[in-house]
A and B are shown apart, each in its own frame.
Chain A
Amino acid sequence: MTAVTAGRSTRGIVDLVFRARELSIVAALAVLVAVTAGTNGNFLSAQGLKDIFLNASILALLAVGQSFVIITRNIDLSVGSVVGLVAFTVGDVLAADHGLGVGVAIVLGIVIGGVCGLVNGLLVSFGRVPALVVTLGTLYIIQGLDHAIAHGRQINAVDLPESVLSLGNGSVLGIPYLPLIAVIVMLAVGYYLRSYASGRDFYAIGSSPEAAGLAGVPVRRRVMAAYLLSGGLAGLAGVLWLARFGTVVADDAHGWELQVVSAVVVGGVAITGGVGTVYGAALGALLLTTITSALVVLKVNPFWQQAITGALLLLAISVDRLLALRVARILRRRNARHGS
């Protein structure tokens, strides 16, 4: 019996560590907001808050998709390019035909993103090429495609149907659409990953690919699905980007893939797979966005903004590593006692 109670408290410790991760992001956010608002009251104005949430929504959406991939011990670097491609091509189509509504735009965006994800997924899971190389390659290919289609042109807000632009700026019951969409997607994906057998497979694959194969988990199909989802969500994010900014060039969302990966890692998803939640990843996105906004408000040199993001990333990874070692030591000690 004693061993079982020891196990219970072990579980408590481990749970606490993982919850502590999400709580610590919330705490960091609170401190950041308090300090910034204390220095400059405008930070907490309605417009300021709205901007943060609108910006964070797109990043959070991408972070949710990316967590899926990273949890399976892979990575998707092509998401930034997908956002750019989708924003431009969907804008182009809408500008050509004003009869098309917001529904068509979203479906088109998700399909284009999904096709990109499918290519990534096929190459990684069936071609057995390392994910880093595959998605680095598709990053450049999709970027090139985007430039070829754009050919130096620009999509302007006046060319877009009103319904699409209102998706970016409108709200329901005072809540803007963008954060609403991001939260709904996050909750749905989070619930799926936690509560469905196929959702748990993603964690199993990231935790030990060999064991997953031996246990009969359809590894390739799941990895494929993770890329499909990441691509699809990047497509959705591309449409939202178009709706929010209205003016789009081929260069949009360049370099976002690294912000997305940073948000995911800061949010507690292990880069080595198997650990983390989409809630954490979305919180990570919110934190990074808030920091950027806060630094602007505090008139910090843009160079430092990037450096601070980088420092935060290193801090998050170091804390994870330390906690993992600590937990491992606790577990070992408990088991030693249990064994004796």
Chain B
Amino acid sequence: MTGAAEATAPHGPGTGDAPPVLALAGVSKSFGAVRALREVSLELRAGEAHALAGENGAGKSTLVKTLSGVHRPDSGQVLMDGQPVEFHKPADAQRHGVAVIYQEPTMFPDLSVAENIFIGRQPRASLGRIDRGEMRARAAELFARLGVALDPEQPARGLSIADQQLVEIAKALSRDARVLIMDEPTAALSGNEVARLFTVVKALREQGCALLFISHRLDEIFELCQQVTTLRDGAWIASEPVAGLTHEALIRRMVGRDLDTLYPKLDAVAGEVALKVHRLTREGVFTDVSFEVRRGEIVALAGLVGAGRSEVARAVFGVDRWDAGWVEVNGRRLPPASPTAAMSAGVALVPEDRRQQGLVMDQSIERNIGLTGLKGLRRGPVISRAAERDRARDWAIRLQLKFNRLSDAVNVLSGGNQQKVVLAKWLSTRPQVLIIDEPTRGIDVGTKAEVHRVLSELASDGMAVLMISSELPEVLGMADRVLVMQEGRLVADIPRADATEESVMTAATGRAS
């Protein structure tokens, strides 16, 4: 960590005379037991584009939120022009000239583009009235400066995401922003739109704006940026010039860590095909996705956030409809868009967002576990509480759930135990195909290992498991095969023996090596 120590000094060696416009010095931030940022330092300079690289969960978003006043650091400092500043809320950062462009901007759909730019700061005429002519003219001027053709009087509703970002950039310009932070701005854009965004952003850079740019597409980092800072597991890894760096070297910085022993995958003999997905397409979301999962196999679906993995899972389970292709379970075709049919065919989906989609948070553990199999709990027309309780106790013991009473509400459990309840809920339907989305997101290390143990046991009992995960070590440790998705397409099918962090990341970031 000697590099970090160097970067901590506001006037580090070789940094020239002017202090950086905006800097982080030794910033740490924890959420409960999770240490999202550990002693991270970063320096943004005028006229320079700085990339922030790192895997999902490396702490990039937390860093952005610290710079933009959403989070306050637990320790360490935010510095502007070398002076410590404290941002208590986003408005404080904005006042200091820090503007953030999010992947999907938040706009006022009912107001005009010009009003979106100037809300709260409209140009005034006499008696404090809004000077609409002036507002329109200034917005038009901003768009002219950016070289984009947008009509200030158009309502924001119906603008494409690319245009919304341009409006946000115009807003930043109108505030004389000195620092522009862009959090994965290109994730939802087409090639043309990216080119247009880059033209605008490069012009801003030349006008002396300091840029922080986050993207999973390495090509974009190399095209736009001069400096790159890499984070891994919340820790600062390196800050270095982009020139002279190779894609491979950057990927190694992002992923290079030791595989630990958290992933006790038992060997299982792959049986017959349980789930077969053939050329599945949902327009604009994913295209031509084909794969198979056999009994006893754990297949990981890897890729970057937004690559379409969860969407494929939802379509297979019938939550979303698909436009072309088909899905077969144990040799029988599933009707499209019918979760009921998928469930009775033996498919279970454990969704990514437990709080939103997986659990009824105010209800008891036993109620939640019983929810998926109410038919099996019926004694005549009524649900048998005793049967419900028996089943819940059964699974709670099997999954080593930690709880006081089965009648406790789910929301008092820890994240990891909540995940076990979701698992129990679906496993109690005795599925033959288990689709599980981000099985260990946001849960602690010990519970992670238990979830992995359970998954591994289920597979060796003959279940076919399709696991979506953004954590590479988990993917590599657990999976018999790794499928990699990139921008809605399945781009690689890597057997366990060939799967390395480099090979998976390379496929996911779209670099044919």
Contact = CB atoms under 8 A, between A and B. Distances in A.
A336 B263 CA distance: 48
B108 A4 contact: no
Given A201-B120, A339-B193, A196 B149 contact: no
B115 interface: yes
A175 interface: no
Contact of A214 (B90, B111, B159, B162): B90
A208 B162 contact: no
Nearest to B106: A211
Interface in A206-258: 206-208, 210-212, 214-217
A212 to B, nearest CB: 7
A195 B119 contact: no
Contacts of A153: none
Contact of B119 (A217, A327, A335): A217
Contact of A196 (B108, B128, B193): B128
B108 A11 contact: no
A335 B159 contact: yes
Contacts of A335: 158-160, 163
A197 interface: yes
Contacts of B163: 335, 338-339
B110 A200 contact: no
A297 interface: no
A124 B144 CA distance: 42
Interface in A247-281: 270, 274-275
Nearest to B132: A195
A121 to B, nearest CB: 20
Contacts of B193: 339
Contact of A208 (B108, B122, B154): B108
B91 A195 contact: no
A328 B91 CA distance: 31
A332 B109 CA distance: 13
Contacts of B111: 200, 203-204, 207, 274
Interface string B243-281: 000000000000000000000000000000000000000
Contacts of B150: 3, 7
Contacts of A4: 149, 151
A317 interface: no
A14 interface: yes
Contact of B158 (A204, A216, A275, A331): A331
B120 A332 contact: no
A158 B390 CA distance: 75
A201 B118 CA distance: 11
A215 B130 contact: no
Contacts of A14: 154-155
A233 B160 CA distance: 41
Interface string B96-118: 00000000001111110001000
Given A331-B155, A335-B163, A208 B119 contact: no
Contacts of A201: 119-120
A148 interface: no
B192 to A, nearest CB: 7
Size class of the A contact interface (CB-based, 8 Å):
35 or more
Given A4-B151, A195-B130, A335-B159, A207 B122 contact: no
A216 B91 contact: yes
A10 interface: yes
A274 B192 contact: no
B154 A11 contact: yes
B332 interface: no
A1 interface: yes
Interface string B135-171: 0000000000000011101110111101100000000
B118 to A, nearest CB: 9
A215 B157 contact: no
A8 interface: yes
A332 to B, nearest CB: 5
Contacts of B158: 327-328, 331-332, 334-335
A40 B363 CA distance: 62
Nearest to A331: B158
Nearest to B68: A214
Contacts of B159: 331, 335
B511 interface: no
Contact of A203 (B94, B108, B129, B157): B108
B375 interface: no
A321 B108 CA distance: 18
B258 to A, nearest CB: 40
A78 to B, nearest CB: 26
A339 B151 contact: no
Contacts of A203: 108, 110-111
Nearest to B124: A197
A332 B227 CA distance: 38
B130 A196 contact: yes
A196 B159 CA distance: 25
Contact of B109 (A200, A214, A216, A274): A274
A168 to B, nearest CB: 34
A197 B131 CA distance: 10
A200 B119 contact: yes
B130 A200 contact: yes
Given A4-B151, A11-B154, A208 B107 contact: yes
A274 B154 contact: no
Contacts of B94: 216
A195 B135 CA distance: 12
A214 B160 CA distance: 20
Nearest to B108: A207
B119 A338 contact: no
B48 to A, nearest CB: 26
A236 B121 CA distance: 33
Interface in A162-219: 195-197, 200-201, 203-204, 206-208, 210-212, 214-217
Contacts of B109: 207-208, 274
A10 B154 contact: yes
Contacts of B107: 208, 211
A204 B106 CA distance: 11
Among B109, B110, B130, which residue has the most Cβ atoms of chain A within 10 A? B110
A210 B109 CA distance: 12
B127 to A, nearest CB: 9
A334 B150 CA distance: 11
A200 B115 CA distance: 9
Contacts of B121: 197
Given A10-B154, A201-B120, A212 B90 contact: no
Nearest to B130: A195
Contact of B120 (A3, A206, A215, A328): A215
B409 to A, nearest CB: 21
Interface of B: 90-91, 94, 106-111, 115, 119-122, 124, 128-130, 149-151, 153-155, 157-160, 162-163, 192-193
Given A10-B154, A327-B158, 4 more contacts: A3-B149, A7-B153, A274-B109, A331-B154
17 contacts: A7-B153, A8-B151, A206-B110, A208-B107, A208-B108, A214-B90, A214-B106, A215-B119, A216-B94, A274-B108, A331-B155, A331-B159, A334-B158, A335-B158, A335-B159, A335-B163, A339-B193
Closest 10 pairs (CB-CB, A-B): A7-B151, A331-B158, A3-B149, A211-B106, A274-B110, A207-B108, A216-B91, A207-B110, A195-B129, A11-B153
